[in-house]
Amino acid sequence: MSNRPGKSKSASQRVRAASNAGKGKSTAWIWIVVVGVVIAVGIVAIVAGRGTSSSGGSASPSGGTVVPSGKLDYGQVAVSGTALTPKPDSGADPMVGTVVPSVTGQQFDGKQLTISADGKPQIIMVVAHWCSHCQAEVPRVQKWLDKDGMPADVELVTVATSNDPAKGNFPAADWLRREKWSVPTIVDDKQGQAGAALGVSGFPYFIVTDAQGKVVYRTSGEITEDQWNALLVAARTGKAPAA
In the chain, the amino acid numbered 100 is: V
In a domain, 2, yes or no: no
The H or E element spanning position 200 is: none
By DSSP bridging, strand 185-187 and strand 155-160 are parallel
Query: 25 with 85, same domain?
Result: no
pLDDT of residue 148: 96
* Per-residue pLDDT, 201: 92
Question: Does residue 162 surpass a pLDDT of 50?
Answer: yes
Task: Report the pLDDT averaged over residues 120-145.
Answer: 98
Give the residue with greater pLDDT, 28 vs 103. Answer: 103
- What average pLDDT score do residues 52-76 get? 88
Task: Report the sign of the C-alpha dihedral through residues 192, 158, 167, 72, in that order.
Answer: negative
- Per-residue pLDDT at 243: 77
Direct distance between the N- and C-terminal alpha carbons of the chain, in angstroms, rounded to an integer? 114
Residue 158: pLDDT above 60?
yes
Nearest to 68 by CA among 192, 160, 190, 181: 181
pLDDT at 234: 98
CA distance 213 to 119: 7
Structural domain that includes position 33: 10-53
Query: Is the same domain home to 138 and 18?
Result: no
Give the pLDDT confidence score for residue 230 in this predicted structure: 98
Q: Can you give the pLDDT at residue 39?
A: 43
Question: pTM above the 0.85 mark?
Answer: no
* Same domain as 106, residue 220: yes
Name the pLDDT band for 38 (thresholds 50, 70, 90).
Answer: very low
Within a domain: 63: no
- For residue 5, pLDDT over 50 is answered with no
Q: Do residues 87 and 194 both lie within one domain?
A: yes
Question: Phi and psi at residue 96, in whole multiples of 5°?
Answer: -60, 130
Whole-number Å distance between alpha carbons of 207 and 138: 16
My answer on whether 84 and 130 are in the same domain is yes
Q: What does the pLDDT look like over 170-224, one tens digit per residue?
A: 999 999 999 999 999 999 999 999 999 999 999 999 999 999 999 999 999 999 9
pLDDT on residue 71: 83
pLDDT at position 55 is 78
Q: Does any domain span residue 68?
A: no
Length of the chain: 243
Residue 58 located in a structural domain: no
CB atoms closer than 10 angstroms to residue 96? 14
Residue 11 has pLDDT above 70, yes or no: no
pLDDT at 45 over 60: no
Strands (E), 76-221: 78-80, 102-106, 112-115, 122-127, 155-160, 185-187, 205-209, 215-220
| Residue 119: predicted pLDDT | 96
170/192 Cα distance (integer angstroms) = 15
Predicted local distance difference test score (pLDDT) of residue 19: 45
Q: Among 2-6, 117-121, 141-145, where is mean pLDDT lowest? A: 2-6
